[in-house]
Amino acid sequence: MFKNKLVLYITGFLISIALTLAAFFAVVHPEFFHFDSTAVLTAILVLAALQFLTQAIFFLHLGPGSESRWDVAIFASTIILILIIVVGSLWIMNHLNYNMTPQQINQYLMDQSG
């Protein structure tokens, strides 16, 4: 039992290191891969998603099976709450200037310039 978990941890660690190094080299040496900026961004996003799945499967033990059903449900709820907080915060910050009157904007700019 312990040896099996140790093999899973080592495998997950090696995959995580490989994905991290791939992302690093995609950013540092894009000419080696013949990447433009869009391809580098796409590569980073794909590697980040793979890294997330690797962490969830090998270290958080989220996967198919009846014993991890509650863990997956709690994890999904946590992700949904984080998304609500982040998207809501970005929405509020994006609409702050829209809700300010011109007098408030002028006063704010006067206060900032000294």
- Compute the distance between CA of residue 32 and CA of residue 51 in angstroms, rounded to an integer: 22
pTM over 0.85: no
- Compute the distance between CA of residue 9 and CA of residue 43 in angstroms, rounded to an integer: 25
pLDDT at 68: 79
CA 45, 46, 49, 50 torsion: positive or negative? negative
Domain range annotation of the chain: 1-61, 66-114
pLDDT at 25: 93
pLDDT at 77: 95
pLDDT in 10s for each residue of the chain, 114 residues: 567 888 989 999 999 999 999 999 999 998 887 888 899 999 999 999 999 999 998 988 887 777 778 888 898 999 999 999 999 999 988 887 677 788 888 888 899 887
Cα dist from 96 to 39, 88, 101, 108, 109, whole Å: 34, 12, 10, 13, 15
